[in-house]
Structure 1
Amino acid sequence: MCCLFRLPQLFSTCMAFSLVADMGIRRGALGNWSMSFWCVCFVVTLVISTVDLRELWSRFPYFWSNFTITYACYATLICLSASIIYSITYVQFLPYGPYRDQANAFSCIASVNWYDRGDVTCYVHTVAGLLKVLETFMAGFIFTFIINTSLYLHQPALEWCVAVYSICFIPVALAILLNLGKWQCRLPSLYPIFQLVLSLLSVLLYVSALVLWALYQSNEEFGGQLQRSSDMGCINGLTYTLCFWDRKLTVAILTAVNLLVYVADTVYWARQISVGTGGQSSARDPLHSQEVSLQSSVSP
């Protein structure tokens, strides 16, 4: 049944990048991004379907169920982002034809990822897990737009912003891996307090990054450009790539959005600690708390 649910995903992602590739026109960075998103989702979904059909997941059943559900969340965000990028930016360069809107339609269909949850309780089904997924996804998107080092090299303030994105990304990714492997229960009881401190520190770091990036984006004294028309790369007609002004503005917006996610994460952990028993065990992990409560209810 899981493989049947994944057939529409395979078909929609395959049709999306096949239609764009069959146009036979220059795609540029924007088109290549969308193509790579669809290809990655198609390949990973195909691998997961193959593993399920051959029942290779029996060698690591606990990790596999968590991995497939987590991947479904990321694939939904990736295909949705590809649909937005394709429709808002790249589609304006395409000639009118039958393939122009069909690729975006299939990408939108692919953004709806079906998976069989069953009785599996996964970390990403919790509020904490969803927030961690959003934090890593937004950070990955920021890395995509700052891949051109000319945006920040030889500018210490902007280099600090890039360091902030990396510093905040690493502990969040480790937290997801720990929970996917169900190793969080082996951690000390101060784990929720540690998560709260990390979230609060990430908020402060992202505030500094947002202020500095916006300042260097708009203030001409720091080499910024308040208006888009000031960037010569943005007024040379239609191009297949984003000019520097667009990239910097996009990074600033993504930084602000991820800052809000970190604020929500901080509020979540603060609430978990405040309502927990002594601020420890019940706030340690939502899934662990559910297991403990279930065992206590059935014990004599």
Structure 2
Amino acid sequence: MPVIVLEAGAFTSPLFLVRTWEVLSGCTTFSLVASLKQSNNNSSDHHRHPDTLRIFCMSSWCFFFTLTLLIHALSVLQVHNLVPVSWKNLTVTAAVSGALMSLSAAAVFPCVVVADRQRVTPRLVAAIVASCLTFLAYASESYVLRAQASELRGYMGSMPGLLKVVPVWGGCTLLPLVVEQLCGPQAPAHDAQLLVYGVMYGVCFLMSLVTLVVILGDFAGRCFLPFDKLLVGFSLIGVLLYALPTVICFIKVLGHSLHPELLILEAVVSSLTLLAYTVDLALSIKLMCCRSSMCCL
């Protein structure tokens, strides 16, 4: 039976401190928000929005709290080598994804508060502050991991790797926003258009998720197609599918359509995701051309 030796220096390292910060702030955030939801259910205020955005925020905080706690425990116990994934890629992916999703939740949560017409209380202010601190914690871990040597941070710590995380974040954020606009009592008449956009976002999200699974599981050599060509195809499809919804979102924002706060969030997230797909497409084509030229030599 292996003996686990805990080093004293591990408890003072920057990674240990920021991950502890993430666990504490994440737990504080969703605990405060859960208590707000319970108190709000007892009120007689009419809810203009369904619980889609609230579920999105709570799911983001709870998921990354659980994932960070697991990564934290495996790192402290030094048994992460038993995990059948690329550990250095997993930690970077979890940190960057946690930062992006925490940022989305911190931006969406005030929309939920405004929609619920909640009275400003110290607990509500504490929940908003805690959500911002959770984002700062994950952003700090991302910075610490990015500051490491390239062989320690893995592929996901490089620019091409980070660009693979942004579309997953975009899909996770945009799908709840589309559902919120479709299910709201002031839903627009062109529901079919929003539904088509939701399908586009969903397709791109699944492609990006498959890419992450292949990278984290080191399955690139087992793909039925060359992985670099597969990445070029996924990025091209992402650019094509995101281009139209992004333009339409900005037109709606300028036209002062319904759900202005949701449209602004959708426009910002979709434009950032489209930018990530575009840059990733250029880098993937450049990498594929470089490999082809080397094979011809």
TM-score by length of 2: 0.70
Question: Does residue 40 in structure 1 map to residue 55 in structure 2?
Answer: no
Give the corresponding residue for 2:91. Answer: 68
Give the corresponding residue for 2:160. Answer: 128
Give the corresponding residue for 2:217. Answer: 181
Relative distance call for 1:213 and 1:9 in structure 2 (3 A) is closer
Provide Cα deviations, 1:7-57, integer angstroms capped at 9, x if missing partner: 111111122223334455327734454333322222222232333344442
Quick one: distance in 2 between partners of 1:51 and 1:162?
37
Query: CA offset at residue 199 of structure 1?
Result: 1.7
Query: CA offset at residue 129 of structure 1?
Result: 1.2
Relative distance call for 1:91 and 1:39 in structure 2 (3 A) is farther
Question: Does residue 200 in structure 1 map to residue 225 in structure 2?
Answer: no
Give the corresponding residue for 2:25. Answer: 12
The 5 Å alignment of 1:244-255 reads 246-247=261-262, 250-255=265-270
Give the corresponding residue for 2:44. Answer: none
- Cα RMSD, aligned residues only: 3.5
Question: Does residue 161 in structure 1 map to residue 202 in structure 2?
Answer: no
SS of the aligned residue for 1:95 comes to: coil
SS of the aligned residue for 1:182 comes to: coil
Give the corresponding residue for 1:258. Answer: 273
TM-score by length of 1: 0.70
Contact 1:199/1:266 (8 A) holds in 2: yes
Contact 1:83/1:108 (8 A) holds in 2: yes
The 5 Å alignment of 1:131-142 reads 131-142=163-174
Residue type of the partner of 2:271?
A
Give the corresponding residue for 1:98. Answer: 122
Quick one: distance in 2 between partners of 1:209 and 1:280?
38
Give the corresponding residue for 2:5. Answer: none
Give the percent of matched residue pairs that are identical in Structure 1 and Structure 2: 23
Relative distance call for 1:15 and 1:162 in structure 2 (3 A) is closer
Give the corresponding residue for 1:286. Answer: none
**Structure 1, 11-20 or 92-101: larger mean CA deviation:** 92-101
Contact 2:111/2:261 (8 A) holds in 1: no
Query: CA offset at residue 97 of structure 1?
Result: 3.6
Relative distance call for 1:34 and 1:199 in structure 2 (3 A) is closer
Quick one: distance in 2 between partners of 1:206 and 1:16?
32
Relative distance call for 1:62 and 1:253 in structure 2 (3 A) is closer
Residue type of the partner of 1:136?
V
Give the corresponding residue for 2:40. Answer: 26
Quick one: distance in 2 between partners of 1:55 and 1:33?
33
Residue type of the partner of 2:292?
G
Provide Cα deviations, 1:32-89, integer angstroms capped at 9, x if missing partner: 5433332222222223233334444232365333222211111111112222223465
The 5 Å alignment of 1:188-227 reads 190-210=226-246, 226-227=255-256
Aligned length: 259
Contact 1:158/1:212 (8 A) holds in 2: no
Give the corresponding residue for 2:206. Answer: 170
Query: CA offset at residue 133 of structure 1?
Result: 0.4
Question: Does residue 144 in structure 1 map to residue 176 in structure 2?
Answer: yes
